[in-house]
Amino acid sequence: MKKIIFFYGICLFVWLHVAAQGNYSVKVNQNAHYSGGEFALAKYFLENITYSPEAIQNKLSGTAILSFTVKTDSTITDIIPLSNIGFNIEDEVSVWLKKLKYAPAMANGVAYQSNLIINVNIRATEKIKTE
């Protein structure tokens, strides 16, 4: 949490510094995002998250909330769970989140590192194998 507050503090300082210098405008061309889209991202987690027998038995459901950094090379780092719905689900989501590649945020045609927060719907059920 300290990292997030520190990051926003730095952003505020930089913004105030640039604003004080005059007419310098930064145009954000795109925010960091999963290039497959929201539906594909939800499907990815649905198909890959493995639930413990205890989570299934307790019919665990809820929303796992995680903060993470998208680097300029599309990798994901600094994953921080912001929720705790139990049975180490946030750890399992982190494992699969780390494997993704996100399109980095762009400003004036230049990629830059950015922080995002993701909500992953959790519904612990046994997976039905189809062949």
> What pLDDT score was predicted for residue 22?
60
State the residue for tokens 């780390």: 98
* DSSP secondary structure letter of residue 32: -
Q: What pLDDT band is residue 82 in, cutting at 50, 70 and 90?
A: very high
pLDDT in tens, 35-58: 999 999 999 999 999 999 999 999
Element (H, E) at 111: strand 110-112
**Average pLDDT in the chain:** 87
In terms of residue numbers, what domain contains 50? 27-123
Asked whether residue 35 is assigned to any structural domain, the reply reads: yes
pLDDT in tens, 96-115: 999 999 999 999 889 999 99
**CA 65, CA 128: separation in Å to the nearest integer?**
26
**CA 100, CA 44: separation in Å to the nearest integer?**
10
Number of domains in the chain: 1
CATH number for 115: 3.30.2420
